[in-house]
Amino acid sequence: MRIAVANIPSSAVESLRLALSRAPQHDLAWVVKSCAEAVRMCAEDIPDLLLMGLPVSVSEVVDCTRRIMKISPCPILVAAVDYERQISEVFEVMGAGALDVVNVPAQDNAEEARELLRKIEAVRKRIASSAQAKERPATPPDRDKNLPSLVVVGASTGGPNAIATILTALPKGFSSAILVVQHVDQQFADGIARWLGQHCRLSVNIARSGDRPLVGHVLIASTNDHMVLTADRVIAYTAEPVDYPYRPSVDVFFESVAQNWPKPSAAVLLTGMGRDGASGLMTLKRAGWYTIAQDKASCAVYGMPKAAIELGAAKRVLPLVEIAGELMLYEKSKSPGLTRG
């Protein structure tokens, strides 16, 4: 992979060089000192991956990340000195389009160097993969009236801010359960649940094995395994498929919902790189679910929704700011497809 570096002090750049030297398949494409230079360089020479430094002031990083993702999109990995002390700033940059975060390894810290290379390899797999989860015919719904209405959401690059936008607009009395799969490393799952909880009036927690969807509660996938709904209609995690680059996978989750949740409800696919979620959204649509994809203009990265739209999986294509309202209309009517296109 051709890896670029921006907005990182010279001493830390040398640490990155040393870490990357452990993996000869990676080359350092270019190094610039500021975010603004990164925007210019990405327009001239798009790298396979950009390592973007995270200073104390995050606004410039957020702005430049948005500009890069609009003008010359490429995968961005936030490189922090100590991301645990900047978790709010990390989520802001991820909301603007960054994929993940990693600490810049100290020169004598082999464990941090391995973690950097692990994150880079995960990005490489995500870029390289064009695989789609195989479609399975959904079990015909039995219209179990005891089950709550369910909203399922999938997101990747730019997802945290998109999810926060939707949750913020939903009322405290929203009478559906909400399950979310966001591409994020498990070490950030608890933090992102707390961060999202600060933005809305609903209860937000990480999803644990054995949890059941509850009205007014938001559960976020919380491990690097795939979150699924079982035939008993509880949450579980599975390592299969083990070679799938998106972990947790939106496709795997959506298809388990179509298979095991017998009361068609609403599904939303948000901003993200790649195709994960497209075939799963189609499976839900075929099972009678009301499917929504975020539109191009409001996406940080128009990859996952685009794939779903091209597949014909979305009944509605909406700007981000309209999705919460659409979910509330769905909640009232329960048959939105009969009254709206």
d(CA 133, CA 114): 29
Residue 242, SS3?
A: coil
d(CA 42, CA 47): 7
Residues in a beta bridge with 191: none
Q: Counting Cβ atoms within 10 Å, is residue 335 exposed (0-12), middle (13-18) or buried (19+)?
A: exposed
Pairing label, strands 2-6, 266-269:
unpaired
In contact, 67 and 41? CB cutoff 8 Å: no
**Residue 276 annotated to the active site:** yes
**Residue 265 annotated to the active site:** no
Catalytic residue among 48, 225, 251, 276: 276
Tokens of 220: 């976020």
Element (H, E) at 304: helix 304-311
The closest alpha carbon to 105, from 22, 49, 27, belongs to 22
The closest alpha carbon to 293, from 313, 264, 273, 265, belongs to 313
**Residue 183 annotated to the active site:** yes
Catalytic residue among 15, 48, 100, 156: 156
Q: How far is CA 89 from the centre of its chain?
A: 17
Active site residues: 156, 183, 276
